[in-house]
Structure 1
Amino acid sequence: MPAHPSRPWKEVVADKLTADRAKIPEHWRLSADVIAAAKTRKQIAGDFVEGLLDSETRHVTSADAPDLVAAIANGSLTAVQVVTAYCKRAAFAHQLSNLLLEIGFDTALARANELDDYFKTNNKLIGPLHGLPVTLKDQFHVKSLETSMGFVGWIGTFEGKKGTGKEKKLESQVIRELWSLGAIPIGKAPETNNNILGYTWNPYNQRLSSGGSSGGEGVMQALRGSAFGLGTDIGGSVSMPASFQGLFSIKPSSGRISFRDVANTGPGQQVMPTTVGIMSRSVGTLKLVFKSLLTTEPWLRDPNTLPIPWRVEKEYDAEKEHDYKPAFGFMANDGVVTPHPPISRALGIVKRALEESGYQLIDWVPPSNNESAQIHGPIARGDGCPDAYEAIQLSGEPIVPEIDNVFPGGKLRQPMPLPEYEQVVLHMKDFRNRYNDYWMSSAQNTHTGRPVEAVISPVTPYAGILPGKFQYSPYTSSLNVLDLPSVVIPVTFADKAVDKLDPNYAPLTEKDRVNMALYDAEAHDGAPAAVQLFGRRWDDERVLSMAQLIADALEKYNRKHGGQP
């Protein structure tokens, strides 16, 4: 049973925030006037935050991760320069948007000095991520930093327990791998809404949500507070924040990246595992980080990680394979909910960009997302989420509105009976089989004679959401049910002058009618609009290659058309 709170939860939070503020160097602290000005602005990403920075910080943090590694390798930058610039920018981002539950600037700079000494002595990098600062959703254990996951009752403990000897000492396996590769953790970001830091708003439109649940990391990447970020995903929790913040991301198939020693709710649920996802500003960075992690052979230390190294034969090289044009599936909608106008426009831009580059797109009408919705919820929350409930009860903090439905009336729900749960799992297995059969049958409609290489679809129906107005997640949660890898690709921004509801729009379903009624062109104006690309299970390398192909086609299209229909 949860312990009786020994102190009022607000006192615990106040002490935590005071301790965190003290970790920001005085010369990196923003004035009250700047912070107040930020709160009055619609957008703080881009020009506003850039205008607060000195030229060196802007220069370093504007570079993509592979270019930073190359600059350190040729001696034009040091790890200390890179880490200093990103720590400063992360400090600014935190003060503007409340983005860091844990701050590790001092240990990060100490590690950067070690890497510079190594480079001077050995004239080589310690690994392919040498000197790259990384921020993380606060589920990953990092030595010297706490892990609270946003639970007030976890502050000062190890996952809610005291006296374990693991506090600030245990490290998640993926963190150990990142250290060995040369990456440097500088801080940890919150869930989108929590009682420690409050609500995390979208920096492109501060009336809108950053998306859940890795929203804090999404905003950190949008404000360029680190070279790349890690989140976790069981229903779109990496993909949705990436799409709302105009980022690239990958949700890999389960078993590719180690989840060992990562804090989580529902840790015993392994039928549909939570996966580690990566967010960044380019496909190239996603590939660099994912490929580098696999070089550490994580399966040797984590029996739940598959012994699958990076597979070159799964990659696609447009220059080498210029005679082969892969075919794509294209899902304008899933037959249940129509995307809002900005997302439909983004999908149209991608479709035209690929067609102009000579790629075939075929309509994608797989087994219904109505089925995936019937599967996802019972598997993810079939136990009633008692561990999350107990973590909340530890401090007496209130339940945040986003999970009110999980604990109706503030009470714990009864778990699903095991026989019913097993029936849902059987439904999932059957759904996966039928979906795979449909995928293979697509070979009948492609000019290649092969099944489609990947499928383009909405990430969500939304270009950003107003808090409390999120209604439909199966575009992403279906991919967790199916365990398919997906990459988010930013395309454009919502434009109230362009993205108007089609006067001929007719709802596909009642869900569609309710969802489309939420669209407000004025409220969503300026929010990023993205698509996702998903592939077959454990075909992560090819999905990344296909995503780069789409990014290249979009760049070519935008040069020609300016991104317009």
Structure 2
Amino acid sequence: MMLATSLAPILSTFLVAVIWLVRLRHVYDVLSPGCGGPHQLPWRAVVARKLDADRAKIPREWRLEKAVVDRARSRQRIAGEFIEALLDEETLRITAMDVAALVEKMGNGALTAVQVVTAFCKRAGIAHQLSNLLLEIGFDLAIERAEELDKHFREHGRLVGPLHGVPVTLKDQFHIKGLETSAAYVGWIGTFEGKRGTGKEKHFESELVRELKSLGAVPIGKTTLVTSSWAPETNNNILGYARNPHNQRLSTGGSSGGEGAMQALRGSAFGIGTDSGGSVSMPASFQGVFSLKPSAGRISSKDIAGISPGQQAMPVVTGIMAHSVQTLRLVFRTLLNTEPWLNDPYCLPIPYREANEYVPGKAAEKPSFGFFAHDGIVTPHPPILRAMDIARRALELEGYGIVDWQPPSYNESIAIHGPIARGDGCPDAYEAIMLSGEPIVPEIRRVFPGGKPLPSITLREHEQLVDRMKMYRSKWNDYWRSSAQRTDNGLPVGAVLSPVSPYAAVLPGKFYHSPYSSALNVLDYPTVVIPVTFADKDVDTVAPDFEPLTHADRINMKAYDPDVYDGAPASIQLFGPHLDEERLLSLAQVVMDALEKYKRRRN
């Protein structure tokens, strides 16, 4: 008792000292030049400081006058002529080239890596000022790397690799040395995934980034995404809502919407995103660019700032966006040539298999294509139905067989996808949002009803869902094999034509249906997005006899307005069997060749 009494003043003094140390630490964090992140400045101040720092990373000679930015905000379309009018001839010439042409010209000395990287950095910088697309700007680092590549070429007379000097942008979930990764969380600014003093800040790198750099590619920046990645639109409290460059009344899609828009504005030669339910495919289709979402395990997703990284039943996959099927194939093939399975145990040891490709004129039989225009739940908008019809006619004119596709119900995929993908209630995303006190953006409020995570499902419930998914995959596999009974050549269809979503692009807040894409994540099928045409208000009208099948079908079609959608890209997707990316890419090229011939005939 006497000992306790004698220690009381000492303990009291000690506690007071601790309290003051905590307060002093807080003051230091707030006043520190490197502050930002959890429990420090008010979140709006953290964002304001980041945006000021990012503006300073754009060279003065590339900065746009306020009048130009204001004019862009008031326009329907900024892709194409508008952004091109802001660029010099050399920048236009270089950024119009596809990856193969860029590498060829750098290989023969017609272009330097510095010229190529500078041109794309300039275009990306202007695209960002018009559309708020870059969460991280790395122009200085990129040009410095380009100088190193040019030095290597001068000294050795050869390129570093097959992507030498090729500028790439990546969704801001990929760690790149020299750049932060906020993943659209305010609380992650100035930290490593929300933690301070880890030693990894700006020093850590994702496996895919290491592979790209080893091939000679040059990362120039990281693109915006939706907070938490759990929405088919792109919005966050750092850069705001991302608008579609082809039609700014519409969305970029999500969650890789910033990457889709950057490709639409040609701010990089190709882009990298992630996909757990259409997050690469839908933004690509909304922006009229090409994409590949492979099966899980083909491209590395190691060491990315992920969503529910422990969820491996239906994992997030890394995908590619580009301006042609040829570039998708080139990037995919060169990535596999790095043997990613040696560094990522979740990558399958499957090299690129040219023998699996379909080569017109060499194969004994022409493949047939499945045709799946309607999932029986929600009717695609008129521009998408027309795009599907164009693709069908184009292939038929080239002598390819078409089989109407009536697979196992997509309703089953709806019952599986969400509960597996978000079965833990997304507490990691919620905690990341709460670090700064930023509000939950409207697009993800359904994930956090009442501002809290949903309860997690039990292990037994998860196992039952996985078993249900396995049975669903088996039903699809059986159906695919049975298609041989309906083709002229007696072989199963090679790939299936399908909408990516019901929309050419979506009105903000009007996204109602994702299974055209998310079902393919449940099945783990690879898919390639192919731009076909653009919405036309004079042609794409709702049929007078349209009768909705479901409530979702009714509200979906009610959201369609030909005048609002006019000019939006109308894309389709081609999907194939599990792990059959090589054949799928070759068949996507068949579709593109047929479409080009069809358009020439019409003109």
Q: TM-score range by the shorter chain?
A: over 0.9
Post-superposition Cα deviations, 1:461-498, rounded to whole Å, max 9, x if no partner, equal: 00111111000000000000000000000000001110
Which one-letter code corresponds to 2:579 in the other structure?
W
> For residues 85-234 of structure 1, what are the structure 2 equivalents within 5 Å?
85-191=119-225, 192-234=234-276
- Kindly indicate whether residue 500 of structure 2 is the aligned counterpart of residue 459 of structure 1: yes
Q: CA–CA distance in 2 between the matches of 1:32 and 1:518?
A: 33
- The 5 A counterparts of 1:464-503 are 464-503=505-544
Which of 410, 413, 423 pairs up with 2:454?
Answer: 413
What is the aligned counterpart of 1:444 among 460, 464, 485? Answer: 485
Please give the secondary structure, in 2, of the residue aligned with 1:118. helix
Q: What is the alpha-carbon distance in structure 2 between the residues aligned to residue 506 and residue 398 of structure 1?
A: 39
Structure 1 residue 505, shift from structure 2 partner: 1.9
Q: Deviations over 1:238-291 (max 9, x none)?
A: 000000000000000000001110111111101001000100110011011000
User: For residues 515 and 170 of structure 1, what CA distance do their matches in structure 2 show?
Assistant: 43
CA–CA separation in structure 1 for the residues paired with 2:217 and 2:541: 44
C-alpha deviations, 1:343-402, integer Å up to 9, x for none?
Answer: 000000000000000000101011010000000000011110000000000000000111
1:332 aligns with 2:366: no
Alignment partners' CA distance in 1, 2:264 and 2:237: 23
1:281 aligns with 2:323: yes
- For 2:160 and 2:415, the matched residues in 1 are separated by 47
For residues 439 and 4 of structure 1, the distance between their equivalents in structure 2, rounded to whole angstroms, comes to 50
Q: Give me the whole-angstrom Cα distance separating, in 2, the residues matched to 1:429 and 1:41.
A: 48
**Which SS does the other structure have where 1:176 is aligned?**
helix
CA distance in 1, matches of 2:556, 2:467: 30
Whole-Å separation in 1 of the counterparts to 2:299 and 2:173: 15
| Amino acid across the alignment from 2:537 | K
> May I ask how many residue pairs the two structures share in their alignment?
559
1:348 aligns with 2:389: yes
Paired residues of 2:378 and 2:552 also in contact (CA < 8 A): yes
Residue 47 of structure 1 is matched in structure 2 by 81
- Distance apart, 1:75 and its partner CA: 1.2
Residues 317-355 of structure 1 deviation map (CA, whole Å, 9 limit, x = unaligned): 11423x521101000111111111000000000000000
Superposed displacement of residue 448, structure 1: 1.6
For 1:524 and 1:159, locate their aligned partners in 2 and report how far apart those are by CA, in whole Å.
38
The 8 Å contact of residues 38 and 188 in structure 2, kept in 1 or not, is answered as no
After TM superposition, give the deviation of residue 4 of structure 1 in Å. Answer: 6.6
Q: 1:301 aligns with which of 326, 343, 355?
A: 343
Does the CA contact (< 8 Å) of 2:38 and 2:187 recur in 1? no
User: 2: distance between equivalents of 1:112 and 1:104?
Assistant: 12
Structure 1 25/4 Cα, relative in aligned 2: closer, same or farther at 3 Å?
A: closer
2:287 to 232, 241, 245: 245
SS at match of 1:199: coil
Aligned to 2:410: 369
Per the alignment, in what secondary structure is the counterpart of residue 173 of structure 2? coil
Map 1:512-523; keep pairs closer than 5 Å. Answer: 512-523=553-564
Cα separation, 1, equivalents of 2:114 and 2:150: 7
Question: What is the letter of the counterpart of residue 83 of structure 1?
Answer: V
CA distance in 2, matches of 1:525, 1:387: 39
TM-score, length-scaled by structure 2: 0.92
Equivalent residue in structure 2 for 1:75, among 96, 101, 109: 109
Partner SS, residue 198 of structure 1: coil
Deviation at 1:420, TM superposition (A): 1.5
Aligned equivalent of 2:15: none
Q: 2:92 aligned to 55, 58, 70, which one?
A: 58
The CA distance in 2 between the partners of 1:83 and 1:420, in whole Å, is 50
Find the residue that maps to 2:315 and give its secondary structure.
Answer: coil
- SS across alignment from 2:369: strand
* Secondary structure of 1:194's aligned partner: coil
Cα offsets for 1:412-464 (capped at 9, x unmatched): 22111221221111110000000100000001111121110000000000011
Equivalent residue number for residue 575 of structure 2: 534
Distance in 1 of aligned mates of 2:211 and 2:598: 38
How far has the Cα of 1:504 moved from its partner? 2.1
| Ranges in structure 1 where 5+ consecutive residues have no aligned partner | none
Deviation at 1:122, TM superposition (A): 1.5
Deviation at 1:509, TM superposition (A): 2.9
For residue 177 of structure 2, what is the amino acid of its counterpart?
Answer: K
* Alpha-carbon contact 2:38-2:194 (below 8 Å) kept: no
Aligned to 1:10: 44
SS in 2 for 1:361: strand
RMSD (CA atoms)? 0.9
1:444 partner amino acid: Q
Say whether the 8 Å CA contact 2:43–2:438 is kept in structure 1.
Answer: yes
Aligned with residue 601 of structure 2, among 543, 560, 564: 560
TM superposition score normalised by structure 1: 0.98
Match of 1:433 among 468, 474, 478: 474
Q: Secondary structure at the match of 2:283?
A: helix
Find the structure with the greater CA-based Rg.
2
Q: Report how far residue 507 of structure 1 moved.
A: 2.1
2:442 aligns with 401
3-state secondary structure, aligned to 2:73: helix
Corresponding residue for residue 262 of structure 1? 304
Q: In the alignment, what sits opposite 1:315?
A: 357
* Separation in structure 2 between the aligned mates of residue 337 and residue 99 of structure 1, nearest angstrom: 31
Report the 3-state secondary structure (helix = DSSP H, G, I; strand = E; otherwise coil) of the residue aligned with 2:321: strand
Q: Please give the secondary structure, in 1, of the residue aligned with 2:134.
A: coil
User: Is 1:272 matched up with 2:306?
Assistant: no
Structure 2 counterpart of 1:499, one-letter code: D
Aligned equivalents of 1:36 and 1:142: distance in 2? Answer: 32
| Counterpart for residue 544 of structure 1 | 585
Q: What secondary structure does 2:204 align onto?
A: coil
Contact 2:170 2:259 in 1 (8 A): yes
1:125 deviation in Å? 1.1
Partner of 1:387: 428
* Structure 2 runs not aligned, ≥5 long: 1-36, 226-233
Contact 2:280 2:319 in 1 (8 A): yes
State the secondary structure of the residue aligned to 1:13.
Answer: helix
CA distance, structure 1, for counterparts of residue 173 and residue 76 of structure 2: 30
Matches of 1:71 and 1:182, distance apart in 2:
15
CA separation in 1, counterparts of 2:117 and 2:40? 39
Letter in 2 for 1:480: N
